[in-house]
Chains A and B, each alone.
Chain A
Amino acid sequence: DGGITQSPKYLFRKEGQNVTLSCEQNLNHDAMYWYRQDPGQGLRLIYYSQIVNDFQKGDIAEGYSVSREKKESFPLTVTSAQKNPTAFYLCASSIGGQQPQHFGDGTRLSIL
């Protein structure tokens, strides 16, 4: 079955620690996205990538970093510079920019 896999499902971060969230897709989609969702809120775009080896900042990129070395993979690192990282992180992909997006199950990140 084609889809998007995010791991881990739950993640805890200590003060001063960087953590990396994994996102893998086997849909052969060119575009991939990372969103942050706070409780009861909508989706805020962190980073997106239209093609391998290229990515752009979204609305709330500060304190986060990404890479896109393979078409299938778009990992997100939450750095220690992100002072309020507790949130639900969603990865999505689409055939191309602005096309319907398919989402992974998400990663819930909390601070220890």
Chain B
Amino acid sequence: GQQVMQIPQYQHVQEGEDFTTYCNSSTTLSNIQWYKQRPGGHPVFLIQLVKSGEVKKQKRLTFQFGEAKKNSSLHITATQTTDVGTYFCAGPGGNYQLIWGAGTKLIIKP
């Protein structure tokens, strides 16, 4: 069945370092969505990418959608403690539902 693979599972960074998470789909996606879940909280929608090769920025966050619309990435520049959490990607699956990546947990080293 359709899958969305997300790597890495964890990323430990020093505050101020960059962070990147990658999503790869087994099929072409009409769009891809990114969510952030803070520790103990619920997922919060960040952004949706629709166009092939699209790049969108939100302050220090840069989102990319691949040319073939099968992969996507989220890059955070100069991480801050407020960035801590798990970042999920999700793409449309069959039957009107989303297929979710397993998430990448951003951990700031003390």
Instruction: Show the binding face of A for B, using Cβ within 8 Å.
Output: 31, 33, 40-43, 45, 48, 50, 56, 58, 90, 92, 96-98, 100-106
Taking A48-B96, A50-B96, A105-B42 as known contacts, 10 extra A-B pairs with beta carbons closer than 8 A to each other, sorted by chain A number, are A41-B102, A42-B100, A45-B97, A48-B97, A90-B43, A96-B96, A98-B30, A98-B98, A101-B98, A104-B42
Neighbouring B residues of A96 by C-beta, 8 Å: 96
Task: Choose one: B30, B43, B97; the contact of A58 (CB below 8 Å).
Answer: B97
Given A42-B88, A42-B100, A43-B100, A56:B95 Cβ within 8 A: yes
B43 touching A98, Cβ below 8 Å? no
The residue that B92 contacts in the complex, of A42, A43, A98, A106, with Cβ under 8 A, is: A98
Interchain CB contact under 8 A, B42 and A42? no
Question: What number of B residues sit within 8 Å (CB to CB) of A?
Answer: 22
Whether B45 pairs with A101 at a CB distance below 8 angstroms is: yes
For the complex, give the distance between the alpha carbons of A97 and B88 in Å: 18
Per the bound structure, the CA–CA distance linking A41 and B41 in Å amounts to 13
Q: How far is the CA of A56 from the CA of B97 in the complex (A)?
A: 10
Structural contact, A100 and B42, CB atoms closer than 8 A: no
Q: How many Å from the CB of B16 to the closest CB on chain A?
A: 26
Q: How far is the CA of A48 from the CA of B48 in the complex (A)?
A: 21
B103 at the interface (CB under 8 A from A): yes
Residue in chain A with minimal CB distance to B34: A100
- Name the A residues within 8 Å of B97 (CB-CB): 33, 45, 48, 58, 97-98
Pick the contact of A42 from B33, B48, B103 — CB < 8 Å? Answer: B103
The answer to whether A100 touches B33, judged by C-beta atoms less than 8 angstroms apart, is yes
Q: Which residues of A contact B31 (CB under 8 A)?
A: 98
B43: chain A residues at CB < 8 Å are: 43, 90, 92, 101, 103
Residues of B within 8 A of A100 (CB): 33, 45, 48
- Write the B79-98 contact mask toward A (1 if CB under 8 angstroms, else 0): 00000000010001101111
